[in-house]
Each structure stands twice: as structure tokens, then as C-alpha cells.
Amino acid sequence: MSTQIHHDRLPVADWRRTARHLAAHLGRHRARLVLVVVAMTAAGAFGLVTPRLLGSIVDVVATGGDTSDVVVRAAFMVAAAVACAVCTGIGIAAAASVFESVLADLREEMLAGVLRLPVARVEAAGSGDVLSRATDDVDKVGEAIGTALPSVLMAQAGVVVTVIGLAAIDWRFLLVAVVTAPLYYVTARMYIQQAPAVYAAERVAAADRAHHVLGPVQGLPTVRAFDLGSRLSRRIDKHSWAVVRRAMQATVLQNRLAGRLNLGEFIGMAVILLVGFTLVGDGAVTVGAVTAAMLFFLALFDPIGQLMYVLDDLQSGAAALGRIVGVLDVPDTRTHSDVDGRDDGTGLVASGVDFGYTREHPILHDVSVAVRPGEHVALVGMSGAGKSTLATILAGVHSADHGTVTLGGVPVSDIPDAQRARRVALLTQEVHVFSGTLREDLLLARPDADVEDVWAALEKVGAAAWARSLDDGLESVVGEHGHQVDAMVAQQLALARIDLLDPDVVIVDEATADAGSVGAGVLEDSAAAVLDGRSALIIAHRLSQAAAADRIVHLAGGRVIEAGPHTDLVASGGRYSEIWAAWAKGRELA
């Protein structure tokens, strides 16, 4: 299977797929959703009591009625206000319970979806695309679910109940709905048609900006070494302004929405006044009834405005949810068959491998390498020769464009991810200490390991004394929120995890390069102890490591130019011999 690495964003689900996904989550909470609808409807009904009674108070005052009638109506208004508040509180609490549960499920789904993506697919999409979906997009969905959806339910209940209230006063007041509904419909349709593209483009622009910001941050030493700051700053500036332009387009759209809402409110008030003037003149209704109708319509401003304005959050949230569902919809191409029993004892073998991160720039050309059971093979070559790229292909992180990679006679691509990770371990100089206790960090490699196994692994890599010096030993919290671990110890912990994992083959990619001259020697001893008795491919940045290996493979320009034992290569007089002579002479002079 060919894996060309280029900027290939992850898919975005269409609105039908997104709606089905959200509906499936909401369907798990039907009972609480019914409670939300009932509570919101009751709150809307109680909310109409106050304007209706205010209208009747106008009539009492206009006809010179008894003051006690006003007091009774005022008491009912207070009771209705209390009931409205109680129902609203129940509705909001139930809505929060439902929507926060849905949001928690979406977060877990998103994390699981990202973690199951092949590393090559993540690299093709760009770290900014994945990171923005897992952070910004989840936050946008959280805002929509936590704020917009409850507002929609409250607004819909308020609109329906208020229209019923207007009809109860006099059916002719429904003329206001006939006049304003088309305007609101056209406004909403315009917004729904234009907003998704605007907000989707804004999210994509934000992802691009994140991608171009993260790259220089992650490669800061390289940026400084090659003085790339100004060039990369201009690129970040370009993509930042792209985000600003998209945000301004969204703001213009919002302003158009606000203007049409205000026009609808003006037309609606004018219609109520005209209808009310006519009906009072004919004696069909009282001034108090017209007052109540106007108050009803004024009460509609808030729910209609909410309904329209949350379209903003809903559209932004829908665009973000589409990006999240797009990650979940990436097909799982992993094989789930059991291949453990098919090992033919050949070890890890690459034959005729070609590979390039882009189609235009191939990296490896017809590379063949074999790591036999129990054998240590050193991979040497200048920087940029393709050593680390070959390591990722042998580990199954990337798939070769041409050629094959097998482990025990089985294509690496056919081995399920979980099995492959246990059988081929890739250790680089970029290791991570996970937040939690030291014991939990090490047990990630083998959850069923007992305490004795953990201490044995620490002893083997030379980190046991350091672990015992911690206040709580294995129960000490390490990582970002605990005891800070330096680069050398972090590598030793990574080696201890390798020892606990006990893989068939270990691929070591310059794991001692970041530890300094003193630390590198310590780490070489730690690595030698862990690799003893295991098959290993060692990407060597020190020729002393290569000399100690059973065989050496020399890469140059993405091709194997020499291969064989150290003594044979030195005796051959080839390029490795020249490099070894220069290296050895430098040691003698030192």
C-alpha cells in the first residue's frame, strides 16, 4: 500500500452525517429531553401570565374598577413569575445534564478517533489540522451544545406559546405572524445558506494557522540554526490575516442578520398597533387586550432574537462537529486477524523499498535490509541519508511506496497495530514522560507487570538509584505536573519500558543524541543492557556503536552503498573505511 505524505487534510462530514451523529447521541437521553421540552414549554406559558394580567389591569384602571382587583392580579403575576423561574431552572438543569453528557461522549470519541489514526495519516493532514479538531473544534461544539441548543429549545417553546397567546386574545393578531414570519424565514434561510461555508472556511484557516505556528515551535532549534525566523514569521502573519479575513466575513454576516431582525421587529410592532387600533375602534377588544398583545409581541423579541443569533453558534458548532465526525469517519484500514503463529524465523526484512514523503521527492531507493533474530545491525550515514525514514518504515509507521517489509515472513502492514507495537519497538531521541506516577508510566508498556519486574527494568537501565531517591519511589508523580525528569532519565525510562515490553525487534534511532557527552555514555550502557539478547537495528551517530554491531548498513542518498561486518568494511577501503579512519584519528588526537 502506497503512503504518499503531503498536505492532505482529514475529511469533513456533510451536514446529514453530522446531524445523524448528533441525533444518535441525543437519542440516548430521550427521557431527560422530554423533561427539558415540558419544562421549557411550561416556563413559556407562565411567562405569558404577566403581560396578560398587565393588560387586564389597564382595563381595570380605565373603567375605574376596584383596587382589590389590581392586588389580586398582581399576586397572580408574582406566583406566575415564581413558577416560570422554577420551570426555567428545571429545564436548564435538565438540558445541561443532557448536553454535557453528549459533549463528554464526543470528547472521548474524538480522542479515540485521533489515537487510532495511523501516524502517516496524521502527518499527511498536518499536526495543526489534527490539533485544531481536538481542541478548538471540540470547544466550539461545547459552546454550541452548552449554550445554543438550550437557547433553541427555550426560544422555540417561547415562540409557540406566545403565538397561541396572541390567538387567544383575538385571532386577527396572528396577522403579525403572517407578515413577519416570511421575513424571518428568508433571513434564517439566507444565514443558513451562507454561514456554513463562512464558518467552515474560518475553521480551516484556523487549522492552517495552527499548523504553521506549531511547526516552528516544535523545530525551534532548527529555526534558530538556519535563521528562518523572519521567513516563518511572514508565513504565520499571512495565515493569521487569513483567519482575520474569515472572521470579518462572519462579522459582516452577523450584522446583516441583526439588521433584518430589527426590520422584522419594527414591522411586527407596526402591525400590532394597526390591528389593535382597528379592533378597539370596532369594539372587538379592549385597550388592555391590545396592550397585552403588544407585550406578547415584545416578549417575542428575546426568543426570536435568541433563535436567530444562536444560529451563529449553531453554524460554527455544526462546522466544528462536521470536522470531528470527519475524523471518526476515517476508515479503519487496520487488519484484525491473528498472525502471531506465522513467524518463519527470518526476522525483520525490508526488500527493494522505495519511499518518499511527497511524490516529487523520493527519499529511499531500492533499499534492502535484514535484521535476523538476535542480530544487531547498525545503520550509518550522513544526515539526510534516509536513516530515520527507513526506521519508521521498518516499524510500520509508514508504508513503502514499493517493495516489502516483513516480520517473521508476515508483511508488517498485515500485522494489527497492537501486535506490531508489541513486536517492533521504535525508540527515538524524542521520548515523553507521561503525567502520573512513575509506576503507571512504566506499566504503559506492560500493564500486567509486577513491582519486581518494574524494579528489574529500572536496574537494567541504571535508573533504579534515581527512582529510590524520589520521595515516594514508584508512586512519585512524574511528568508535567510532578517531578521534572531530565533528558537522560527520560531516555532511561523509555528503555525500561522497552525492556518491560520485550519486543521481537528494537529499532533505536539516535536515542543517546540529546544527553550530552557524559549522558551519552551512560545511555549507551543502558541501551546495551536492554538490547542484549534482542534483535536490534541501531541508527548510530557514534561509530563506536556501529563497530560493536554484528553488521553495518551504510546509507547515502537514500541507497545502501555498503553492508557487512565492521572489520570487513574497514578492510574494503570504501567510504565507511574512510569515515572510520577520520573518526579514529580524531580520537587519537584528542
Which residues are registered as beta bridge partners of 376? 536
Copy the grid coordinates of residue 449.
507487570
Q: Indicate the residue among 275, 304, 328 that finishes a domain.
A: 328
- The β-bridge partners of 539 are 379, 509
129 and 101 fall within a common domain: yes
DSSP three-state, residue 431: coil
C-beta atoms surrounding 61 within 10 Å: 14
Q: Which CATH number covers residue 554?
A: 3.40.50.300
pLDDT for position 2: 39
Instruction: Give the other-Cβ count within 10 Å of 374's Cβ.
Output: 11
Instruction: Verify that 242 and 381 share a domain, yes or no.
Output: no
Closest CA to 1 of 488, 443, 335, 457: 335
For residues 292 and 423, membership in a common domain is answered with no
323 alpha carbon, distance to own chain's centre: 9
Task: Specify the pLDDT at position 338.
Answer: 53
Q: Residues near 31 by Cβ (< 8 Å), separated by ≥ 6?
A: none
Q: What is the domain-level CATH number for residue 232?
A: 1.20.1560.10
Q: What DSSP assignment string belongs to 447-471?
A: TT--HHHHHHHHHHHT-HHHHHHST
- Pairing mode, if any, of strands 361-371 and 348-358? antiparallel
Alpha carbon distance 132, 154 (integer Å)? 31
- Does the residue 459 lie in any domain? no
Radius of gyration of the chain (CA): 34
Residue 312 covered by a domain? yes
356: phi > 0 → left, psi -120 to 50 → alpha, else beta; which? Answer: beta
Q: How far apart are CA 178 and CA 172, in angstroms?
A: 10
Of 303, 328, 353, the one marking the end of a domain is 328
- For the chain, helix, strand, coil in percent to 5 are 70, 10, 20
SS3 track for 127-146? HHHHHHHHHHHHHHHHHHHH
Give the three cell numbers for residue 404: 516489502
Which cell numbers in the block locate residue 565? 561486518
Q: What is the pLDDT of residue 499?
A: 93
In-domain check, residue 483: no
Q: What is the pLDDT of residue 316?
A: 75
**Cα atoms in the 13 Å half-sphere on the side-chain side of 304:** 28
> How many contiguous H segments (helices) and E segments (strands) does the chain have?
21, 12
Number of other residues whose CB lies within 10 A of the CB of residue 449: 18
| Residue 54 shares a structural domain with residue 113 | yes
User: Which residues fall within 8 angstroms of residue 334, CB to CB, at 6 or more apart?
Assistant: 116, 118, 416, 417
**What predicted TM-score, i.e. pTM, was given to this entire model?**
0.61
Distance CA 534, CA 499 (A): 10
Q: Identify whether 490 is part of a domain.
A: no
Same domain membership, residue 140 and residue 35: yes
Give me the sheet containing 402-407, strands edge to edge.
Answer: 361-371, 348-358, 402-407, 410-411
Same domain, yes or no, for 208 and 346?
A: no
Tell me: do 385 and 292 sit in the same domain.
no
CA atoms within 13 A on the CB side of 281: 6
Distances in whole angstroms, Cα of residue 516 to Cα of each of 65, 148, 381, 382: 95, 54, 21, 20
The DSSP bridge partners found for residue 552 are 378, 564
Same domain, 379 and 414: yes
Given 328, 361, 378, the domain boundary residue is 328
Phi, psi (degrees; rounded to nearest 5) at 92: -65, -40
Could you tell me the residue range of the domain that residue 46 belongs to? 15-328
Same domain, 344 and 283: no
- 8 Å CB contact between 562 and 554: yes
pLDDT truncated to tens, each residue of the chain (590 aa)?
A: 333 434 466 788 888 888 888 888 888 888 888 898 888 888 888 888 888 888 788 877 777 777 787 888 889 889 988 998 999 889 888 888 888 888 888 888 877 877 777 766 776 666 667 777 777 788 888 777 777 777 777 777 778 888 888 888 888 888 887 888 888 888 878 877 777 778 778 878 887 888 788 778 777 878 788 888 888 888 888 888 988 888 888 888 878 878 888 888 888 888 888 988 888 888 888 888 888 888 888 877 777 777 776 776 777 788 888 888 888 777 665 554 555 445 667 889 999 999 988 778 889 999 999 999 999 999 998 888 899 899 989 988 888 889 999 998 888 888 877 788 888 998 887 788 888 899 999 999 899 999 999 999 999 999 999 999 988 889 998 877 778 888 888 889 999 999 999 999 999 986 555 444 455 678 888 888 999 989 999 998 778 888 889 999 999 999 999 999 999 999 998 999 998 888 877 665 44
User: 4 lies in a domain?
Assistant: no
Residue 405 and residue 368: Cα distance in Å, rounded?
9
Question: What is the distance of C-alpha 472 from the center of its chain?
Answer: 34
Neighbours of 572 (CB within 10 A): 12
Task: Name the grid cell of 482.
Answer: 510532578
In a domain, 146, yes or no: yes
pLDDT at 442: 92
Q: Is residue 449 part of a domain?
A: no
Structural contact between residues 554 and 381, judged by C-beta atoms closer than 8 angstroms: yes
C-alpha 565, offset from chain centre: 47
Identify whether 392 is part of a domain: yes
Q: What separation in angstroms does the CA of 461 have from each of 130, 455, 457, 489?
A: 35, 10, 6, 9
* DSSP three-state, residue 416: coil
pLDDT of residue 452: 93
Residues 303 and 348 in one domain: no
Our CA angle for 542, 431, 399, nearest 5°, is 85
User: What DSSP designation does 558 have?
Assistant: T
Cell numbers linked to 105: 461522549
What's the pLDDT score for residue 18?
85
Structural domains counted in the chain:
2
Whether 200 and 113 have beta carbons less than 8 Å apart is answered as no
Residues 53 and 432: their CA atoms lie apart, in Å, by 67
Q: Which residue has the cell 520521595?
A: 471
pLDDT at position 6 is 40
**Cβ atoms of residues 101 and 29 within 8 Å:** yes
Is 208 in the same domain as 60?
yes
Angstrom distance (rounded) from CA 80 to CA 71: 14
C-alpha cell at 588: 587519537
C-alpha cell of 9?
A: 487534510
In this structure, the answer to whether residues 281 and 395 fall within a common structural domain is no
d(CA 170, CA 518): 91
Q: Residues for the chain: how many in total? A: 590
